[in-house]
């Protein structure tokens, strides 16, 4: 007997078969925690491939990308206390301050600080 929730989803199965949004898709370039290496290529995570995927997934939402990566940064800091904070910051967040490349190929000068400061 399967249990069906109020949304019409059966446990573990979606009723509709539409493709999942880009943020929900599975990637081969996931972090292997404790060492924070990439499960797909073995490079330090986020690897260049995952950075590109994240740029596409969080296209036009740089603050959301920074929050997502900030959560990983907090965990990585706990897992690798011997690594200087500046190194981890650059690795997880520093690259997001460069020019964003949107999925349509256009480039936009973005900065988490400049986007966050617009409300002032």
* pLDDT 10s digits, 32-78: 999 999 999 999 999 999 999 999 999 889 999 999 999 999 999 99
Q: What is the mean pLDDT of the segment spanning 16-37?
A: 73
pLDDT over 60 at 109, yes or no: no
Greater confidence, 6 or 54? 54
Which residues have CB under 8 Å from 104's CB, separation 6+? Answer: none
Find the DSSP H helices in 1-120: 48-57, 62-79, 85-92, 112-116
Given this model, what pLDDT does residue 7 score? Answer: 47
Q: What is the mean pLDDT of the segment spanning 4-11?
A: 47
CB atoms closer than 10 angstroms to residue 54: 19
In contact, 96 and 62? CB cutoff 8 Å: yes
């Amino acid at each position: 007997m399967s249990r069906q929730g109020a949304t019409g989803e059966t446990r573990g199965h979606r009723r509709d078969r539409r493709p999942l949004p880009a943020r929900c898709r599975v990637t081969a370039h996931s972090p292997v925690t404790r060492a924070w290496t990439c499960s797909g290529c073995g490079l330090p995570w986020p690897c260049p491939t995952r950075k590109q995927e994240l740029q596409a997934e969080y296209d036009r939402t740089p603050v959301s990308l920074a929050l997502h990566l900030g959560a990983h940064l907090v965990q990585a800091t706990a897992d690798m206390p011997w690594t200087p904070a500046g190194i981890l910051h650059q690795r997880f967040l520093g690259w997001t301050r460069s020019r964003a490349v949107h999925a349509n190929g256009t480039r936009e000068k973005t900065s988490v600080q400049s986007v966050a400061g617009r409300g002032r």
